[in-house]
Structure 1
Amino acid sequence: MYRGAPDPWHLAERWYERRKYDLTVASLPVPRYRRAFEPACSVGELTVRLAERCDQVVACDRVESAVATARRRTSALPHVEVSALTVPGQWPSGRFDLVVLSELLYYFDAPTLQRVLHRSVDALEPGGTLVTAHWNHPVPDHRGTGSTLAPTVGSLPGLTLTADHRESDFVLQVYERISPDGTAAPSPAAREGLV
């Protein structure tokens, strides 16, 4: 699809996409993250928004032309690194306190999906945030929808669901990694002493 257009889904132009990205970033439970990972970043629309909330963003895509576009879009942001990687076989080193899986999981068969999810959780620091956002309509190339993926992600050990935003068009969920002592991260209100 990228051979015919640099942004085949018109991610920079569509109100639907801009709104979904804004909701994704607004759903993050802490104001600032140390290190985020965004696989399948495409042309970098969400990457730019994540960069406003993160000290470092590691983004990747398997399509070289998408990587080139994302690099151009983030060239003035020295704390953003965009690479050509294919997950789950290729994975950046180190730990993250934010992993964003947006419009990605329905491309994988069941065993590969489990590998991606387990690598995501394993790379996530205790108290870290995992975000999933997926189109909720059937597509011939997709192996599921946002609604069918949600129970699979929700069954992962070590995570607690903190936000579940569902619309007819997409499902956006936020999970936090439970600490080794079994405690969940405090809610945004609790972090500010409101409850």
Structure 2
Amino acid sequence: MEESYFHEMYRDSDDPWGFTSRWYEQRKYQVTMAALSAPRYRRAFEAGCSIGVLSEQLASRCEQLLAVDLSDKAVQIAAERLKTAGGQAIAETRDFVADWPPGSFDLIVLSEVLYYLDHAQLDAVIAHASAALTDDGELIAVHWRWPVEEYPQTGDQVHDRLRDSDLVHTAGYLDTDFRLDVFARVARQSVAQREHLV
């Protein structure tokens, strides 16, 4: 998708997708946070953070959080929201497709961003994410399932591609509206196994 699409979306509204007002979004964030299998993460990366509504919730469970978006306006709003999370949560303007951040992460969040990518871009992002994910980390992807004419792919298509990658699928949720999948770089113990319940 053209970068101008996102700048135009924020030109007339600080919240063009209703992230702060819709129950659909609030519920999706609750399911997303519940799907994370660790109580805390050392270093997290959120691609396409928009105005930082999910970022703020992620920051409460991360020692460090890097949240990025293409839109300067969205990043300004996200940065303001993250001020209450302390200095270890930052928002910056970055094209995560062309400029994946350096270093490794034990949490990578790809929420409502991958269907904007063409097939080559999606494959590049999956390769970057797989290489950046720590052995004890997880990647969570969450996407709207209904087709949108402007989007190059559907949520189901990008999740199917993730399922076909080298990443290990560890958890998932599916309903009529959205799909959530959790992946690891290598096979990991479940929460119950980690806590010696089985």
When normalised by structure 2's length, the TM-score is 0.93
Q: 2:55 aligns with which of 47, 58, 61?
A: 47
RMSD: 0.9
Percent identity reads 42
* 2:3 matched residue in structure 1: none
Distance (whole Å) between structure 1 residues aligned to residue 147 and residue 41 of structure 2: 33
Matched, 1:152 2:155: no
* 2:125 matched residue in structure 1: 116
* 2:192 matched residue in structure 1: 189
Matched, 1:98 2:107: yes
Compare the two structures and name the one with the higher helix fraction: 2
Distance (whole Å) between structure 1 residues aligned to residue 194 and residue 154 of structure 2: 33
* 2:84 matched residue in structure 1: 76
Distance (whole Å) between structure 2 residues aligned to residue 27 and residue 120 of structure 1: 19
Distance (whole Å) between structure 2 residues aligned to residue 141 and residue 123 of structure 1: 30
Secondary structure class of the residue paired with 2:11: coil
* 1:174 matched residue in structure 2: 182
Query: What is the aligned residue count?
Result: 189
Structure 2 letter corresponding to 1:162: T
* 2:69 matched residue in structure 1: 61
Quote how far apart the aligned CAs of 1:103 are. Answer: 0.3
Matched, 1:125 2:134: yes
Deviating above 4 A after TM superposition, structure 1's stretches of 4 or more consecutive aligned residues are: none
Matched, 1:5 2:8: no
CA-to-partner distance for each residue in 1:51-74, whole Å, 9 max, x for gaps? Answer: 111111000000000000001111
When normalised by structure 1's length, the TM-score is 0.94
Matched, 1:87 2:90: no
Secondary structure class of the residue paired with 1:57: strand
Quote how far apart the aligned CAs of 1:162 are. Answer: 1.1
* 2:45 matched residue in structure 1: 37
Quote how far apart the aligned CAs of 1:15 are. Answer: 0.8
Quote how far apart the aligned CAs of 1:136 are. Answer: 0.3
CA-to-partner distance for each residue in 1:79-115, whole Å, 9 max, x for gaps? Answer: 1010000022112221100000000000011101100
The answer for unaligned runs of 5 or more in structure 1 is 179-183
Structure 1 letter corresponding to 2:170: T
Q: Is the 8 A contact 2:117 2:153 kept in 1?
A: no
Structure 1 letter corresponding to 2:92: S
